[in-house]
Amino acid sequence: MIEVLSVSKQFNGQEVLKEITATFRNGEVSLIIGQSGAGKTVLLKCIVGLFTPEKGKILYDGRDISSMDKKEIRHLRQEIGMLFQNSALFDSMSVLENVMFPLDMFSSMTYNERRKRAMFCLDRVGLSEAQYKNPDELSGGMQKRVAIARAIALEPKYLFCDEPNSGLDPQTSLKIDELIHGITTEFGITTIVNTHDMNSVMGIGDHVLYLANGNLAWEGNKDNILNSDNELLNNFLFSSDLVKKVKEMSLK
Amino acid sequence: MFLAGSIKSFGSYLILMRRVLSRPQRWSVFFRQTLHEIYQLGINSIPIVLLISFFIGAVICIQMKLNVESPWMPKFVVGYATREILLLEFSSSIMCLILSGKVGSNITSEIGTMRVTQQIDALEIMGVNSANFLILPKITALMSMIPILVIFSIATGIAGAFAIGEFTGIITAEDLTTGLQHEFKQWYIWCSIIKSFAFAFIITSVASYYGYRVTGGSVEVGQASTNAVVSCSVLILFSDIILTQLLMQ
């Protein structure tokens, strides 16, 4: 479980996050949604520890990240898997080497055990046949799946995904969402997804947070998001004609 | 303003080097990376070093013949001067200036691209000391390969001088050999190697620093590569003065 307690973050005197408080539970996919510039990525980077908030605390199962020394932070990061917007696969390594990399760095397994674990992860995302390919030989969706395999290689307790569906077609996005949700429930991971994709919200939104101008403007789940009376959220949600029609149909 | 910026950059460079020059997290991965970099930075540089050294050795020989030889000078002076130039300056300083263009821009663009495509962020989030993981193998690899490159450069430069003498007849092989052996000081080879160690460190660390600090996109990566080559060249020339003064006194 990750707890964010009254977290604020400023850049050049401008407050980007304002007293954000939220709890992210195990085995649940939490989605952070909001307009561009609302503070989603900054919040995610504060949680991961890439940014240090000016105020507030971030607790990983009760452990305060701000009071950890470098060694403890490095140890904590071995419990974290992260999926980046552009996959961030190491292009000097093959697919298998990418997935084996965290194991090479941090596990005490033998080579065969590491390879077996990496193959299991690749198999889990349906890409075991691509093990010898280089990342640039894969499509965007396949790269995302390899990045997921790499993120889960060390059996993380926490999984963070920054815009996992950006640049992907709806069908591939759906597959990525199902994969993230499946892995989260299967391994009991605390997963936080930063997204703009309303399909993801309606598909895997066990827990949804809406950020507006650095404030936590709404919190709920996929079942009650369409019926919310929050004006800011409704303006964001129903900016698309498709979602408007879905709501009209559901009301009928 | 320029001074303040330079001091700030030097401070950032020292902070980065503190992270780089720490114990590798996993020695087996470090050795694997170092071998990879030895191939990328060292072995791949051998052809350009051989090519340039051969032609420069030949050109130095021609220039010495045209400009230095006179009835008052012994014939072997051409070989003597060619050897001294190759040993004392070309095969260490000038070759490293050339390598700063090839290797330096390669390092900056590689690390810079990793920065802008979030590969470095991915390493950090995994708990990897990205500076140490990416930069230390490059420094180790080039510093371990540079003596070999220097020796290759000296040998090929001399071969170039022999070749031009043979093809054009401007100097006989006997006169050239006498000149090359005249008052030979082994210390000059060590000077060349010691200087090249320092230059190898400058090339890899400064180029890595520029790449590691890139923010933005492909344009910024290109700018960083150019800045890295310029800075490496200036620093090599500046440290050449200091090292030559220290080693040759």
Q: Say whether residue A82 is in contact with chain B using an 8 A CB cutoff.
A: yes
End-to-end CA distance of chain B: 37
Q: Which residue has the tokens 């709501």?
A: A247
Q: Which residue has the tokens 């001067």?
A: B81
pLDDT score, position B246: 92
Phi and psi (nearest 5°) for A112? -65, -40
What is the C-alpha to C-alpha distance for residues B209 and B201, in angstroms, rounded to an integer? 12
Q: Average model confidence (pLDDT) for chain B?
A: 92
Q: Are the beta carbons of A236 and A35 closer than 8 angstroms? A: yes
Nearest to B16 by CA among B233, B238, B210, B199: B210
Q: Which residues of B touch A (CB under 8 A)?
A: 25-26, 28-29, 36, 114, 117-119, 121-122, 124-129
Q: Please name the residues in contact with A175: beta carbons below 8 A apart, sequence gap of 6 or more.
A: A141, A145
Does A75 sit within 8 Å of B117, measured CB to CB? no
Helical H segments across chain B, by residue range? 2-20, 27-37, 46-67, 77-85, 95-99, 105-116, 119-126, 130-168, 173-181, 186-212, 218-248
**Which one is predicted more confidently, B97 or A233?**
B97
pLDDT tens digits along A226-239: 878 888 888 887 77
Query: Which of A82, A152, A154 to substitute to test the interface with B, most B CBs within 10 Å?
Result: A82
What is the C-alpha to C-alpha distance for residues B125 and B147, in angstroms, rounded to an integer? 37
Name the amino acid, one letter, at B93: S
Name the amino acid, one letter, at A116: K
Q: Distance of CA A143 to CAs A24, A99, A164, B24, B129, Å?
A: 27, 11, 11, 29, 24
Q: Taking the alpha carbons of B188, B190, B195, B199 in that order, is the dihedral positive or negative?
A: positive
Report which listed range, A147-156, A230-239, B227-236, is most confident. Answer: B227-236
Supply the Cα-derived Rg of chain A in whole angstroms: 19
Give the other-Cβ count within 10 Å of B37's Cβ: 23
pLDDT score, position B169: 86
pLDDT score, position B29: 93
Nearest residue, CB atoms, A74 vs list B28, B118, B127: B127
Query: Which of B125, B132, B133, B138 to substitute to test the interface with A, most A CBs within 10 Å?
Result: B125
pLDDT score, position B228: 95
Residue A251 in this model has a pLDDT that exceeds 70 = no
Which CATH number does A2-223 carry?
3.40.50.300
pLDDT score, position B40: 93
pLDDT tens digits along B215-224: 988 899 999 9
DSSP SS3 for A2? strand
Q: In angstroms, what separates the C-alpha of A136 from chain B's closest C-alpha?
A: 13
pLDDT score, position B178: 92
Per residue, what are the HEC states of B79-142?
Answer: HHHHHHHHHHHHHHHHHHHHHHHHHHHHHHHHHHHHHHCCHHHHHHHHCCCHHHHHHHHHHHHH
Helical H segments across chain A, by residue range? 40-48, 70-77, 95-106, 111-124, 140-152, 170-187, 198-204, 231-237, 241-251
pLDDT score, position B212: 95
What is the C-alpha to C-alpha distance for residues B180 and B213, in angstroms, rounded to an integer? 46
- Interface predicted TM-score (ipTM): 0.81
Q: Distance of CA A129 to CAs A109, A114, A124, Å?
A: 23, 17, 12
Give the other-Cβ count within 10 Å of B191's Cβ: 19
Q: Which residue has the tokens 């080559």?
A: B229
Indicate the range of A169-173, B80-84, B206-210 predicted with least confidence.
A169-173
DSSP SS3 for A227? coil
Name the amino acid, one letter, at B13: Y
Tokens matching residue A1: 């479980």
Does B119 sit within 8 Å of A78, measured CB to CB? no
pLDDT score, position A159: 92
DSSP SS3 for B217? coil
A215-225 core/surface letters (b: 16 or more CB in 10 A; e: else): bbbbebebeeb
Query: Which residues of chain B neighbour A104 with C-beta distances below 8 Å?
Result: 26, 28-29
Tokens matching residue B161: 């001088």
Mean pLDDT of B167-175: 89
Q: Are the beta carbons of A134 and B155 closer than 8 angstroms? A: no
- The side-by-side arrangement of strands in the sheet containing A2-11 is A14-24, A2-11, A55-60, A63-64
Does B28 sit within 8 Å of A88, measured CB to CB? no
Q: Say whether residue A155 is in contact with chain B using an 8 A CB cutoff.
A: no
Q: Quote the percentage of chain A above a pLDDT of 90.
A: 33
Nearest residue, CB atoms, A88 vs list B26, B121, B129: B121
